Structure 1
Amino acid sequence: MRARTTAYLLGAVLVFYLVGCIWRGILALQTAFTDHSLTAGLLGVAVLAFGVIGAWFLWREIQFGLATERLAIALDDDESPGGGLRYDEIDALPRSPGGRVDKSAADELFAKRKAETEASPEDWRCWYRLAAAYYAAKDSSRARAAMRHAVKLAGPKDAKV
């Protein structure tokens, strides 16, 4: 729950910043038109563009988070054989005194998940579990890519993106 609260807080700060960027961009454009200043106009367009692009990225990340949460709930409710989140496997991995997962054990779990995914490449559940294994192996960029693929495979019935 602490991670969610932090995400909400950082999201609110980012929204405040983006609104400020968009507002300052509009003011700079207004100044450009009233004072006939090319510099203010260019600055206004740039600041406005940064604000809009930042808002778009924030919206996409929120949609991604909601979609992965819906998939996690659907997978957690899955009672079929071979279904479920299987977080107990990740929780059972040996850890260092600082709490980090042992790299060799995470790589072993990753190899198992990769084989499972290669056997069923159209099953979003396999891709979701592969993403969790990537994350345990500290490969966050591939974990996000695998999770995005899981969301894409799940389609609108399980997760909307």
Structure 2
Amino acid sequence: MNARVGAVVMAVLLALYIGLVAQRAWLLLVSGEPVGVAMGAALVVLPVVAAWALWRELAFGISAQRLAKLLEAEGAIPDEELDVRQSGRPDRAQADALFPAYRTDVEEHPDDWRAWFRLGMAYDGAGDRTRARQAVRTAIALEKAGSVR
């Protein structure tokens, strides 16, 4: 629940930022000064990019949460727990020992979103956020396409 509150707070702050930048862009565009108009035109791009990034991240989070609930309802959420160091990072040896099973599952069922989502969870548990997001994005795309075992 704390992550959800944090995401909402950040989304609201980014929306506020988008609004303020858009307002400044408008003021510069209508100033009539060539430099102001050029700066205003450049500032129009920032809110558009920020709004796109906000939408993309929120859509990813909502889709990932939906898949997690589906997997949980099926009783297919991995139940392995990793020991963590004092720094909060998982024990690398334990994490490395878990990957072969999840990687094999993806190799055997490349069109199954469940296998990809579990692989993403394994990567996330090991602290590899980049690969975790890639695997979860693949799971989302497969689930939307209707791929099933």
| 2:77 corresponding residue in structure 1 | 85
| 1:123 corresponding residue in structure 2 | 112
Please tell me the root mean square deviation across aligned C-alpha atoms, in Å: 1.6
Correspondence 1:6 to 2:2: no
Name the count of aligned residue pairs. Answer: 147
Long gaps (5+) in structure 1: none
Confirm or deny: 8 A CA contact 1:22 1:47 kept in the other structure: yes
Aligned residues with identical type, % of pairs: 36
Long gaps (5+) in structure 2: none
Confirm or deny: 8 A CA contact 1:24 1:48 kept in the other structure: no
Correspondence 1:147 to 2:136: yes
Per-residue displacement from partner, 1:47-101 (whole Å, max 9, x unpaired)?
A: 111011100110111111111111111111114xxxx111x21xx2222234321
Correspondence 1:134 to 2:126: no
Q: Flag as ranges the 4+ runs of structure 1 deviating above 2 A.
A: 97-100
| 2:25 corresponding residue in structure 1 | 25
| 1:46 corresponding residue in structure 2 | 42
Q: In structure 2, the residue corresponding to 1:55 is in which secondary structure?
A: helix
* TM-score normalised by L of structure 2: 0.92
Confirm or deny: 8 A CA contact 1:110 1:137 kept in the other structure: no
Distance in 1 of aligned mates of 2:66 and 2:145? 11
Q: Which has the higher contact order (CA 8 A, sep 6+)?
A: 1
Correspondence 1:74 to 2:63: no
* TM-score normalised by L of structure 1: 0.85
Distance in 2 of aligned mates of 1:138 and 1:130? 12
Distance in 1 of aligned mates of 2:3 and 2:115? 25
Confirm or deny: 8 A CA contact 2:89 2:127 kept in the other structure: no
Distance in 1 of aligned mates of 2:101 and 2:145? 28
